[in-house]
C-alpha cells in the first residue's frame, strides 16, 4: 500500500502533463490535418513563411499558390499555415 502511495505523485504529475500539454497538442494537430484536407482552389491562404496568396491548383501532396500577377509558387500542401476567412 505504501508503494502505491509513493507512486501517486508521479501518476498525478503525468495526468496533469497529459491534460495541459499532450491532449491540446493532439487536438491542434487534428484541426490542422482537417484544414489541410479541405483546401480548395480559390482559397486565400497564408503559408508557414508568412506569404499571402490564393490557391490556383490543389493536388494530393502539393498546391500552387498565386502570390502576385503571373507569379505562382508550387509548394507542399503542409506548407500552408491557415486559410484566410472573410472575417480576417
pTM listed for this prediction: 0.76
63-75 pLDDT tens trace: 999 999 999 999 9
Per DSSP, the three-state class of 54 is: strand
- In this structure, the answer to whether residues 1 and 26 fall within a common structural domain is yes
**Unique residue bearing C-alpha cell 484566410:** 84
- In this structure, the answer to whether residues 30 and 62 fall within a common structural domain is no
- In this structure, the answer to whether residues 23 and 49 fall within a common structural domain is no
8-53 pLDDT tens trace: 999 999 999 999 999 999 999 999 999 999 999 999 999 999 999 9
pLDDT of residue 25: 96
Direct distance between the N- and C-terminal alpha carbons of the chain, in angstroms, rounded to an integer: 57
Amino acid at each position: 500500500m505504501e508503494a502505491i502511495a509513493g507512486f501517486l505523485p508521479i501518476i498525478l504529475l503525468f495526468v496533469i502533463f497529459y491534460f495541459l500539454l499532450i491532449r491540446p497538442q493532439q487536438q491542434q494537430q487534428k484541426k490542422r490535418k482537417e484544414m489541410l484536407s479541405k483546401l480548395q482552389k480559390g482559397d486565400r491562404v497564408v503559408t508557414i513563411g508568412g506569404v499571402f496568396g490564393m490557391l490556383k491548383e490543389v493536388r494530393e501532396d502539393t498546391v500552387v499558390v498565386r502570390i502576385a500577377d503571373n507569379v505562382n509558387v508550387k509548394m507542399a500542401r503542409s506548407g500552408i499555415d491557415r486559410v484566410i476567412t472573410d472575417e480576417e
